[in-house]
Amino acid sequence: EQTRSDIEQTLDPEAGHLQIAVATTTNSFVSRVLAKFKKEYPKMTFFLEVTNRKSLLEKLNNNETDLVIMGEPPVDMPLITKPFMENPLIVIAHPDHPLLKNKNNSIKALNNETLITREQGSGTRITIERITGMKFNSDIEINSNEAIIEAVQAGLGIGFVSKHTVKLELQNGIIKQLNTDKFPITRHWYVVHHAKSKLSPIAQRFKDFIVENSNLQ
């Protein structure tokens, strides 16, 4: 059975409605990509949901959205995944933090500091634990990257974030990247959908667009 969006796109291939769900850490670039895409396809409409990894996985499992933009996709679900942009994970600190005086810091040195991390189950935390072997008994857990950045600015501790989320803060010097063993961790952003999902014309166009325009971050 055709949906209203399907019928609209049959009559006008440049129209249609796009449902997209994205990880909270993608805020720094998804809006710019969508704005550029909207200029090329002004008749299209979209619903953007910004949510956590658990919710993204539920939507993928239930095939509830056209496309998902996220970090590392799960390997135990029937998904079509396409990497499109590097997503380096870095360690950040207040400009006055004493560890910034070191050319490099060990993982062991970090364990002696107050660590500010995402909640258990987040993609960022899963990646850090898998690659570095760190096991967080975190003093501070926060479910928002913006709040992690603010906590680091306030001098509460050391944080772990995607470099894309702190470009302005790094440029302005209000936080600093901390040189640390095994960091930055090079990851990628992925555009993902369920393997059984038949993408609408506008969803397929957006998928192709974001892969071809990964320099828009």
Summarised one tens digit per residue, pLDDT across range 81-124 is: 999 999 999 999 999 999 999 999 999 999 889 999 988 888 88
* Residue 157's pLDDT band (cuts 50, 70, 90): very high
Q: Which residues pair with residue 162 across a beta bridge?
A: 89
Residue 70 host element (H or E): strand 67-70
Same-domain status, 78 and 101: no
Same-domain status, 173 and 124: yes
Same-domain status, 73 and 116: no
Same-domain status, 80 and 108: no
Number of domains in the chain: 2
Same-domain status, 94 and 135: yes
Measured in whole angstroms, the distance separating CA 96 from the mean position of its chain's CA atoms is 28
49: in domain: yes
Same-domain status, 167 and 201: no
182: in domain: no
At 4-52, the pLDDT tens digits run: 555 555 556 677 999 999 998 887 789 889 999 999 999 999 999 999 8
Same-domain status, 161 and 206: no
Whether the per-residue pLDDT at 1 is higher than 50: the answer is: no
Range of the structural domain that residue 166 is part of: 89-177
Same-domain status, 76 and 122: no
**pLDDT score at 64:** 95
Same-domain status, 32 and 73: yes
183: in domain: no
- DSSP secondary structure code for residue 26 in this structure: G
From 38, 42, 37, 44, select the one nearest 18 (Cα to Cα): 44
Name the 3-class secondary structure at 192.
Answer: strand
Name the 3-class secondary structure at 158.
Answer: strand
CATH code of residue 140: 3.40.190.10
Same-domain status, 104 and 150: yes
From 1, 18, 7, 11, select the one nearest 202 (Cα to Cα): 18
Same-domain status, 44 and 75: yes
210: in domain: yes
With contact defined as beta carbons under 8 Å apart, do 20 and 67 qualify? yes
Same-domain status, 53 and 130: no
